[in-house]
Amino acid sequence: MHRTLRLLPFAAADGPTNMADDDVMLDAAAGGVASLRFYTWTEPTVSLGYFQPAAVRAEVPGLSELPWVRRATGGAAIVHHHELTYALALPAGKDWQGDEPWVCRFHHLVRDVLADFGVKSRAVVCGQEQKLGEVLCFLDQTPGDLVIDGSKVAGSAQRKRRGALLQHGSVLLRRSEYAPMLPGINDLAGREAVTPALLAGRLAAALAADLGCEVMSSDWTADERARIPEVRADVYADPAWNEKR
């Protein structure tokens, strides 16, 4: 069966817009459209996991001064600064979602692409996880996360809707002054091994090969373009959503 994965434009946006984009991707996947996008953030921003109390931002120096948004996915806080964020939305069913957990599956692709750049990483396996902090995602190493020399460099979270899967996550490229305890891939490699655009292109090709599908560059539909600002205003830019816990 011929399958096509829609590759949406690489873009930078604020936190509520990025989260609204991902939400609309999940709706499209529930309607049968598989989508992938890579993006960055127009300013350093904290995203909190769905279940995290808003007050945890005060527990890490520097976080409370940053713009922030609550994700629809679980997990812990991420400082989106010198990193690449991805979102993958897959329709329901085994044809798209397969048997292997997608956190592991995508991180294995990241590992393989990094190896092509001469950077060695490994996935955390059961029994080796570590919790090095309570607030930040990248201090919580769980099975499937990607680490280099003991430091986590890729983490992901999921949400399902009508059987469709949204997985989005962060690949940490360089240390941020807002989270100086977290080195990125280039810090750990000791060189500028990868850039966001280069990594995004390699990952899109690797994902297409892994899924056995065609990747087709595409834009948002007119209906999606109309829907994104509505979701942004009604959910992710709404203080009631962000302060809900």
Packing angle of the helix pair 15-30, 222-231 (nearest 10 deg) = 130
Q: H or E segment at 69?
A: strand 68-70
Determine which one of 104, 126, 137, 213 is catalytic: 137
Give the DSSP letter string of 74-128: -S-BEEESSEEEEEEEE-SSHHHH-SS-HHHHHHHHHHHHHHHTT---EE--TT-
Contact 184, 83 (CB under 8 A): yes
What proportions of the chain, in percent to the nearest 5, are helix, strand and coil? 35, 30, 35
In the chain, what is the straight-line distance between the N-terminal and C-terminal CA atoms, in Å?
A: 44
Contact 19, 55 (CB under 8 A): no
Which 3 state secondary structure label does DSSP give 14?
coil
Establish whether 137 is a catalytic residue: yes
Which positions are annotated as active-site residues?
Answer: 137
